[in-house]
Amino acid sequence: MSDALILVINAGSSSIKFSLFEAEQDPQLICKGQVEGIFTEPAFSAKSAAGDTLAASPLPADAPKTHDTALRYILNWLRGHTAGKTLAVIGHRVVHGGPTFTQPVRVTPQVLDVLDTTIPLAPLHAPANILPMRVLAELLPDVPQVACFDTAFHRTQPETTQLYALPYEFSQQHGIRRYGFHGLSYEYIASVLPRIDTRAATGRTIVAHLGNGASMAALSAGKCQATTMGFTALEGLPMGTRTGSFDPALVFHCLTHLDMSVQAVSDLVHKQSGLLGLSGISSDMRDLHASDEPRAKLAVDYFCQHVAREAASLAAAIEGIDALVFTAGIGENDVIVRQRVCQQLRWLGIDLDEAANVQRSPEPHRISRPDSRVAVYVIPTNEEIMIARHAVACAVD
């Protein structure tokens, strides 16, 4: 057992999640937890690696409802649970690396200044991602911090794939390109492939990260060649409450002819659309499967069809497909969505093993028939361990 610890921080707009690892050859999870509802009713919870509840309580009612308070509360709790051990490094999940950051980076005052320039690219997430770095630099000045970016994995896409067909100089000047997201998840999946399927690891693999946010990526020898999300995490697949791709001229129509404000249109496409908007019932796939309403079925149909369509488009980008991987909440758990998507992609050489598809396992497992030309896998994602690995590697550089 190691005495050195790795802390992973994933700070969102209204929550701060943490994971604590032991710094073994590959980091070993000790516990994870979060403060949720930061601006409303902040509550702390933590679980051991085995899933046992270690803590669950509201934050003191008189404490300011801020990220700063939430972070200090987490650190205090961790101090009480890590006696005799040393915090060696802190890794942060950062949604947007902008045009500058193409790999994990050690956090310095200069890096923080550059990170501030990414705020217009991710106005909801970037401030929440950056603030804990400043607070921790003050509280724990001797502990190195490493920022890990969800966009970085996609920087290997060819220029034609990263570009939009806007005036070239305009895009260059304003940092406009298809950045892509969920990169830490894809990177983790790419790190698992060599262990389970050499052909998938060295060949052409499409990964479907289907969660509340959903995207897909085409990997060639583990490197990203194309992905469905673009300048922001709105493009591509329909999601829990996000539209996915739609005709951008619709925005002008809403602003000009429907008398909507910019904020109202933004809320429409980010918060009221996707599975929720189509069904009128829920953004959660489980609720849609449980409903008899025709529009619940419509939303599921729309989702599955678009996953299949994007898969075919990504297959064109990498000139074929050797393996398909499902991951994240829907990808790992939803037997029906996987069945429907694979059915629609049979013509690509996908032959699903129905019995394997319904089997549950926390480990990576194959769900295609042995003679399926394309191997299909379910691989549970683990973005936190990817951040922990990067944090260690970057801190010792």
Report the catalytic residues: 150
Name the token pair of 331: 């990808």
What part of residues 72-111 is at the interface with ligand AMP (CB under 6 A)? none
Question: CB under 6 A: which stretch of 229-237, 283-291, 303-311, 372-380 binds ligand AMP?
Answer: 283-291
| Binding flag, residue 329, ligand AMP (CB under 6 A) | yes
Contact stretch for ligand AMP (CB under 6 A) within 96-104, 187-195, 255-263, 284-292? 284-292
Residue 304 binding ligand AMP, by CB under 6 A: no
Total residues contacting ligand AMP by CB under 6 A comes to 11
If one asks whether residue 14 binds ligand AMP (CB under 6 A), the answer comes out as: no
- Bin 391: left if φ > 0, else alpha if -120 < ψ < 50, else beta: alpha
236 binds ligand AMP (CB under 6 A): no
Helix axes 183-196, 383-396, angle to 10 degrees: 90
Q: Does 379 bind ligand AMP (CB under 6 A)?
A: no
Q: Looking at this protein, which amino acid is placed at residue 278?
A: L
* Contact flag: residue 13 with ligand AMP (CB under 6 A): no
Select the residue interacting with ligand AMP from 33, 203, 230, 240 (CB under 6 A).
240
Among 45, 156, 212, 245, binds ligand AMP (CB under 6 A): 212
148 sits near ligand AMP (criterion: CB under 6 A)? no
Q: Identify the DSSP state of 203.
A: S
Name the minimum Å distance from CB 214 to ligand AMP: 8
Judged by CB, which is closer to ligand AMP: 255, or 335?
335
**Residue 243 CB coordination number (10 Å):** 20
CA distance 264 to 136: 36
The yes or no reply on residue 334 touching ligand AMP (CB under 6 A) is yes
Does 230 engage in binding with ligand AMP (CB under 6 A)? Answer: no
Q: Which is nearer to ligand AMP, 149 or 326 (CB)?
A: 326
Of the candidate spans 40-48, 95-103, 280-288, 296-304, the one that interacts with ligand AMP by CB under 6 A turns out to be 280-288
- Looking at residue 364, its amino acid is P
DSSP letters of 238-291? --SS---S--THHHHHHHHTS---HHHHHHHHHHS-HHHHHHSS-S-HHHHHH-
Task: Please identify, using beta-carbon distances, which residue of 4 and 124 lies nearer to ligand AMP.
Answer: 124
Given the complex with ligand AMP, which of 111 and 148 has the nearer CB atom? 148
Of residues 216, 237, 214, 207, the one with CA closest to residue 379: 207
Smallest distance, ligand AMP to C-beta of residue 24, A:
26
Centre a 10 Å sphere on the Cβ of residue 77 and count the other Cβ atoms it contains.
19
Q: Give yes or no for residue 189 binding ligand AMP (CB under 6 A).
A: no
Residue 281 has phi, psi (to 5 degrees) of -120, -55
Q: Report the 10 Å Cβ neighbour count for 68.
A: 14
CA 271 to chain centre: 17
Decide if 45 contacts 55 (C-beta within 8 A): yes
Is residue 274 near ligand AMP by the rule CB under 6 A? no
Q: Does 253 bind ligand AMP (CB under 6 A)?
A: no
Residue type, 31: C
Name the residue nearer to ligand AMP (CB basis): 260 or 298: 298
CB closer to ligand AMP out of 68 and 284: 284
Q: Is 277 in the site for ligand AMP (CB under 6 A)?
A: no
Burial label for 254, CB within 10 Å (0-12, 13-18, 19+), is middle
Residue 290 binds ligand AMP, judged by CB under 6 A: no
Tokens linked to 172 = 């260059």
Minimum separation from the CB atom of position 38 to ligand AMP (A): 19
| 211 scored as a contact of ligand AMP (CB under 6 A) | yes
Alpha-carbon gap, residue 111 to 199, rounded angstroms? 39
Question: Helices (H), strands (E): how many in the chain?
Answer: 16, 14
The residue assigned the tokens 């992973």 is: 8
Q: Does position 285 bind ligand AMP by CB under 6 A?
A: yes
Pick from 313, 333, 339, 344: which binds ligand AMP (CB under 6 A)?
A: 333
Rounded CA-CA distance 312/306 in Å is: 10
Which residues in this chain contact ligand AMP in the complex, by CB under 6 A?
A: 211-212, 240, 284-286, 328-330, 333-334
